[in-house]
Structure 1
Amino acid sequence: MSDALKHECGLAYIRLLKPISYYHRKYGTAFYALNKLYLLMEKQHNRGQDGAGIATLKLNVEPGYQFMHRLRIAGPGAIKEIFASVQDEVKEIERMYPNLREYPGLMKGYLRFMGEAMLGHLRYGTQGKNSVKFCHPFVKSDINPARNLTMAGNFNLVNTDELFEMLHETPGETMRESDLGAMIETVYHFLCEEEAKAPENPDIAEVLRKATSRFDGGYVCGGLIGNGDSFVMRDKHGIRPAYYYKDDEIVVVASERPAIITSFNVPQEEVRELQPGCAVIVKADGTFSEEQILEPAEKTACSFERIYFSRGSDADIYRERIRLGTNLAPKVLESLDHDLKNTIVSFIPNTAEIAFYGLIKGLEDYLKSIKIQRIIKNRAVLTDAEIEELIHRRVRIEKIAIKDVKLRTFITADTARDEMVQHVYDITYGTVKPYQDSLVVIDDSIVRGTTLRQSIIKMLDRLHPKKIIVVSSAPQIRYPDCYGIDMSRMGDFIAFQAAVELLKDRGMTDVMQQAYDRCSAAREQDKLHEENFVKEIYAPFTPEEISKKIGEMLRPEDVEAEVEIIYQSIEGLHEACPGNKGDWYFTGNYPTPGGNKVANRAFMNYMENKVGRGY
């Protein structure tokens, strides 16, 4: 998307079901699991740019030896740095023991990150600072080996304060400012309870049932336990994605299905989705189970995963993004008055390419129907040349804009920086018939509109189109997200800004005050979670009215071309992505009560001119 959002976190989990020597014999390397973990993380590198971490659990370790290890590094190059560090450790050991690779059992003893169970994590920060101490996995240590716990995940919780209060904990800075801090403390609390009752065989499903029933948010979390058990669990609404594969050699879980398919070269149909409220649990003896931990609620899997976050190499996601584009064709045709002859279609940025193909398909289908109608209606009078010209007519496609990745807007003065921002994209000159052609450009979504206003629209206007139509494959983003995406401030959303301007234009600003008063009253009664009062801001207007206002707001004064913004409809989104109904950032229909609280708090922060998140 032109207004880039940070990607979701990514999780990778591996559990070997056979001794390490087995993989050494069959695959020629004792590093089979580490190699696969690296692949799983790299194949999900579209997720999490702030850091990464890995953790390993060794089984059947002699008393007195460390059985759980962790390595975390901050920064966008963290994956390569982590595995380079692991490789350096291997080289150092091999200098002392040159033939060590031939003895997998000894290697496991000497090398920290050779073990039977592994967690890998790709982080982007929503809660907590972007430093290494906030990177996953977290470790909760205990003098009792069976109570040691390592956890990582892809999630946001909106009730961390309540969790710490329930635990009677006064957390340190790292724990307090990280959702994982509250999560690992809660799981640890119930793990200790269960281990005290059944030290030889604790019921991990029961631990998860007691802990996660208290979580309000969207999550996929994985854990390694000192007694050799391990798990990956998904929230009861299925908000965050998780897929797994199992055979007689391995259990693997990842945030994205193609990562597993590619890394293990297995058929798509053998990679299963972890269902809402379920956990994959592998006991210390290798016993595998998929257990229903929480009663599943209505599935509201995040639709942004399908629109933007997950890689389009997944077969289903590819088809859905095609459909998102196709569904926009009727609106685009209406805006163009069906004049495709004088229209050029393109996309910005590259992640919108698949939806672009879908839009072209929809426009081509219309064009084909028109050709057929005209030939049938006028075949008696059409010349051969006219028929040939009609048949060969196509939707005009051009690569209008190319991002200049080398350019950095290093000048800090506002006016100079605005000028530099305009050149982040290069344009292709000579493609547009000046003042005659319209330009249609598709984007994944339009969140803030900043890049459109400061750069893209001004840049496209240099080609002198008659009209610029920016098309969003996502609906209008109206509400904050609290389940993973870093969208939390109401004033950032161009759709919200447009609704506010419309209220001012029509002398209806009292609507905002009334909504604020209702929020304040609900806060006094501790009922902010019961209803989303921010919906009242949008209620007086149709989506088309808000889109029109957004077009006016995003059109700089010095731009000659008419500017129009077209958004996907909610109905079009659900038709294209039937398995991912989570649409709270578009509709305000949050799957958990904490979502309403976040939206109301975010609106109150806006009205009170407070900077910060609503959770």
Structure 2
Amino acid sequence: MCGIVGVVSSTPVNQLLYDAMLLLQHRGQDAAGMVTLQERKFFMHKAKGMVRDVFRTRNMRALPGAVGLGQVRYPTAGNAYSEEEAQPFYVNAPFGLVLVHNGNLTNAHALRAELFSTDHRHTNTESDSEVLLNVLAHELERSTRGVPLHSNEVFEAVRNVHKRIRGSYSVISLIAGHGLLGFRDPYGIRPLCMGRSADGTVMLASESVALEGSGFVFERDINPGEAVFIDLQGQVHSMQCAEGATLNPCIFEFVYLARPDSSMDGISVYQARLNLGETLAKRVVSTVPPNDIDVIIPIPESSRPSATQLAHLLGVQYREGFVKNRYVGRTFIMPGQGVRKKSVRQKLNVIASEFKGRNVLLVDDSIVRGTTSREIVQMARDAGARKVYLASAAPPVRFPNVYGIDMPTKDELVAHGRTVEEIRELIGCDALIYQDVDAMKQAVAKALSPSSKRKLDGFDASCFDGVYITGDIDTDAIVRMNNNRPRIEETEEDSSRLALPNMTEG
């Protein structure tokens, strides 16, 4: 999962890109990068770290031009600690191309070999995004052989890219001297939308919040399999470039990943989370009598809407019992010191008065490895709670995600191969309530706006139901992709949002 943005304007875009990337920072904190185009020359700056740390005044001054793109990176493949794998990626032929990508290619291994043996193109990193860029470059070269580049040639290239690559991908690419290209995989797994400002500037971005927070008016989501080409004059050209495209967005975007003030594919993220709380209420009532719950407390941050709705429907007090420290820094390893893992207690602090002597229902958006849940339950007990119940707004995470979320292998997932009672014992709560898979899908689908022009065909809910929508995932493929998961060095802090310590670690 990453955040991507692209802008075509008549005035400098570096500040616009910076502001949009800040609004997408929740989608990736590992690295950030930006490219601008002036005449036919690219200007690039990228580095590890968050947007505010990567870009200083001197960097912004070195990024002139009225067209550009940027990315905030959350590593899901390759080497998380290689500066070279920060995006955007660049190739000089044809035309000069830069690209940012949100998602994960499931056939990157085969494509890398094909690029070398058949296309005679070289990739220099382990990133699947570099593979994608080289496939696009090769297809653009083929479609423009002997003819000038126009939107039809761009769309022909994208059509052939769709035929070659598998997996999830929202892509923004800048073609030197021509314009900005955006396209989305034929299943619409990862999001991409478009908006326009009063002066005619056009922006593509992962979430609507990046548009609205930058003063743009949201126009529409890019359709699955669709390509949009914005020329340097700001004219928008679009075409459906994939046959049989269907809309199956990643449901984990609505459960956890996206900002609540975003709308994706016509679905309000906030309303979806309220609906999840509503359906979760029915599950809670069947497990714990409401009169046995004194207070409902969310585990910050994504679970708040669900917890609010749950408390309202059960007629139970909603209270804030945890305060999140937003400024937990990296761990430094000094000579003579061992590796020190950051505790959840450094990231969350309890308000003891909300727990003491009470039966508490904690609400989380999802439970992945379970270690964090176990520690939070113990924190509630240490604060004086009589009983601690735990409810998850999402169903058990039983399967790996292969479409751009750095989920652990199945053996690291607390729900894999365990019953709910076995999970409850491991976590140490007095009752554990999970959302139902079908109820989750219905709750999110119910948040679809009546005015939406696009029919929702379903969801990618593979980490919950084990159904991989692209149809090319088997055990061998999962093993191969797990081998290419980001390598985290002992001396570094894992910056992925879902990074939790293993169950076996104290």
Shared fold per TM-score greater than 0.5: yes
For the pair 1:195 / 2:144, whether they are aligned, the reply is yes
CA offset at residue 222 of structure 1?
A: 1.0
CA distance in structure 2 between the partners assigned to 1:37 and 1:287 by the alignment: 19
Quick one: which of 5, 17, 31 aligns to 1:37?
17
Q: Provide the aligned length of Structure 1 versus Structure 2.
A: 465
Equivalent residue number for residue 8 of structure 2: 15
Quick one: which of 92, 103, 106 aligns to 1:158?
106
| 1:426-469 Cα distance to aligned partner (Å, 9 max, x none) | 322344463xx42100011100001122x211111124434311
Q: Secondary structure at the match of 2:290?
A: coil
| 1:209-251 Cα distance to aligned partner (Å, 9 max, x none) | 1122211110001111124132000000000001102467222
Q: 1:72-91 maps to which residues of 2 (within 5 A)?
A: 72-76=46-50, 78-82=51-55, 84-87=57-60, 89=61
Q: Tell me if the contact between 2:368 and 2:414 (Cα under 8 Å) persists in the aligned partners.
A: yes
Quick one: which of 357, 363, 370 aligns to 1:449?
370
Q: Tell me if the contact between 1:260 and 1:271 (Cα under 8 Å) persists in the aligned partners.
A: no
For the pair 1:481 / 2:363, whether they are aligned, the reply is no
Q: 1:418-437 maps to which residues of 2 (within 5 A)?
A: 424-432=347-355, 434=357, 437=358
Let me know the Cα RMSD of the aligned residues. Answer: 3.1
Quick one: which of 292, 297, 304 aligns to 1:346?
297
CA distance in structure 2 between the partners assigned to 1:329 and 1:70 by the alignment: 50
Amino acid paired to 1:11: I
Quick one: which of 212, 219, 225 aligns to 1:271?
219
Q: Tell me if the contact between 1:352 and 1:443 (Cα under 8 Å) persists in the aligned partners.
A: yes
Distance 1:271 1:295, change over 3 A: same
Amino acid paired to 2:25: H
Q: Secondary structure at the match of 1:356?
A: helix
CA offset at residue 612 of structure 1?
A: 6.5
Amino acid paired to 1:254: A
Quick one: which of 286, 306, 312 aligns to 1:334?
286
Q: Secondary structure at the match of 1:168?
A: helix
Q: 1:53-132 maps to which residues of 2 (within 5 A)?
A: 53-59=33-39, 67-76=41-50, 78-82=51-55, 84-87=57-60, 89=61, 113-129=63-79, 130-132=81-83
CA distance in structure 1 between the partners assigned to 2:68 and 2:330 by the alignment: 41
For the pair 1:596 / 2:469, whether they are aligned, the reply is no
CA distance in structure 2 between the partners assigned to 1:459 and 1:493 by the alignment: 22
Larger Rg: 1
Equivalent residue number for residue 47 of structure 1: 27
Amino acid paired to 1:576: A
Equivalent residue number for residue 553 of structure 1: 426
Normalized against structure 2, the TM-score is what?
Answer: 0.84
Q: Tell me if the contact between 1:147 and 1:188 (Cα under 8 Å) persists in the aligned partners.
A: no
Distance 1:474 1:85, change over 3 A: farther
CA offset at residue 348 of structure 1?
A: 0.8
CA distance in structure 2 between the partners assigned to 1:185 and 1:432 by the alignment: 55
CA distance in structure 2 between the partners assigned to 1:416 and 1:133 by the alignment: 26
Equivalent residue number for residue 522 of structure 1: none
Amino acid paired to 1:13: G
CA distance in structure 1 between the partners assigned to 2:342 and 2:96 by the alignment: 55
Distance 1:43 1:594, change over 3 A: same
Normalized against structure 1, the TM-score is what?
Answer: 0.70
Quick one: which of 346, 359, 377 aligns to 1:438?
359
Give structure 1 stretches of 5+ with no counterpart: 1-7, 21-29, 62-66, 90-111, 365-394, 499-545, 556-561, 606-610
Distance 1:214 1:58, change over 3 A: same
Q: 1:191-230 maps to which residues of 2 (within 5 A)?
A: 191-199=140-148, 201=150, 203-230=153-180
Distance 1:294 1:614, change over 3 A: farther
Q: Tell me if the contact between 1:404 and 1:425 (Cα under 8 Å) persists in the aligned partners.
A: yes
Amino acid paired to 1:198: V
